[in-house]
Amino acid sequence: MINSMTGYGSAEGQINGVTYTVEIRTVNNRYFKARIKLPESVAFLEDEIERLLRKGLSRGMVNCVLQLKGASANVLFSIDEMALRAYVEKLDGVAASANVKCPIDIGGLLALPGIVVPVLPGKEEAEQIKEEVLSITQQAVKAVKQMRAAEGAALAADLDSHCEAVKQGLVRIRARSEAVLQEYHKKLKKRVEHLLADAKLKLDEETLAREVAVFADRSDISEEITRLDSHLQQFAESCRADGQAGRKLDFISQEMLREANTIASKACDSEIAHWVVDIKCRIDRIKEQVQNIE
């Protein structure tokens, strides 16, 4: 069954009293694209997390955020005192040489590069963090996939209703197209007989038949109806198949719209034109919905 590209999932776990929370939000996108936000202390996990996301989610814009709760300042960052002293000494030297008395704001110095640095975990702690964070991320991915599957079921039901409406429109068009030719034959014969009545000339049935045949060939939409019906069947089969069907469904819906446009241009009948407008509206809706399918 099809899956939506819209989903949300979260999970959390604890490591040494610190709560690690992973939140994943996904929206539709033509390809897979990940945006991962991590605290600097666990930034070394970015590649691992992206590989895990790619494995579980094949398409969509994936926003993954890892947050730490309950962590003390000592766990998150430290101050490079040697670098801070070096900045202060430089500033004191500049002030002395310029004979300027200027108080130094330590708070402002903390924003300078290299002063506040993240606390990186040791080898054993990093391995423990890696194992737990990847496990939490996997749980969040599972929750996202469950939501995407539920959204996909709703999309499938909506697409099925639109496809059924297109099928019903094709049934009416097929029935009407058979009657259009007969009506054209009658109208043409009546018009020609009226024009020839004053001249007292006889209608040439062979010429009339040839003209009707030309009209029939020019306005024949049976092939387009058959192809559009075939596309609908293929669309339904793709929706029921396992795997990622979004790109295939997008291509099929484009072909469906092309056949509908051809029917509209060839059918010389107002009723058929009216039904084709309804069909094209349905196909446009299908194309919109398909953009959300994985």
Residue pLDDT, tens place only, 245-266? 888 999 999 999 999 988 887 7
- Residue spans per domain, the chain: 7-74+119-150, 81-109, 154-290
Q: Residue 42 pLDDT more than 90? A: no
Q: Residue 148 pLDDT more than 90? A: yes
Instruction: State residue 79's pLDDT score.
Output: 65
- pTM here? 0.71
Average pLDDT estimate for 232-244:
87
Instruction: State residue 197's pLDDT score.
Output: 54
**CA angle at residue 62 from 61 to 63, to 5 degrees?**
120
Q: Residue 105 pLDDT more than 50? A: yes
% residues pLDDT > 70 (the chain):
73
260: nearest Cα among 273, 247, 269: 273
Instruction: State residue 43's pLDDT score.
Output: 85
Instruction: State residue 75's pLDDT score.
Output: 53
Show Cβ contacts of residue 219 under 8 Å, excluding neighbours closer than 6 positions.
180, 181, 266, 267, 268
Residues 43-67: pLDDT tens digits?
A: 889 999 999 999 999 889 999 999 8
Exposed / middle / buried, residue 148 (Cβ in 10 Å: 0-12, 13-18, 19+): buried
Let me know if domain 7-74+119-150 sits in CATH 3.30.230.
Answer: yes
294: nearest Cα among 25, 31, 9: 31
Q: Which of 30-39, 94-103, 110-119 has the lowest mean pLDDT?
A: 110-119
Q: What does the mean pLDDT of the chain come to? A: 80
Residues 168-209: pLDDT tens digits?
A: 998 888 887 776 555 545 555 555 445 445 555 455 555 555
Helix orientation angle between 123-197 and 205-218, rounded to the nearest 10 degrees = 170
Rg (CA), the chain: 35
Per residue, the 3-state secondary structure of the chain, as one string, reads CCCECCEEEEEEEEECCEEEEEEEEEECCCCEEEEEECCHHHHHHHHHHHHHHHHHCCCEEEEEEEEEECCCHHHHEEECHHHHHHHHHHHHHHHHHCCCCCCCCHHHHCCCCCCEEECCCCHHHHHHHHHHHHHHHHHHHHHHHHHHHHHHHHHHHHHHHHHHHHHHHHHHHHHHHHHHHHHHHHHHHHHHHHHHHCCCCCCCHHHHHHHHHHHHHHCCCHHHHHHHHHHHHHHHHHHHCCCCCHHHHHHHHHHHHHHHHHHHHHCCCHHHHHHHHHHHHHHHHHHHHHCCEC
Q: Residue 217 pLDDT more than 90? A: no
Q: How far apart are the first and last CA of the chain?
A: 11
Q: What is the largest CA-CA distance in the chain?
A: 122
Instruction: State residue 116's pLDDT score.
Output: 61
Q: Residue 161 pLDDT more than 90? A: yes
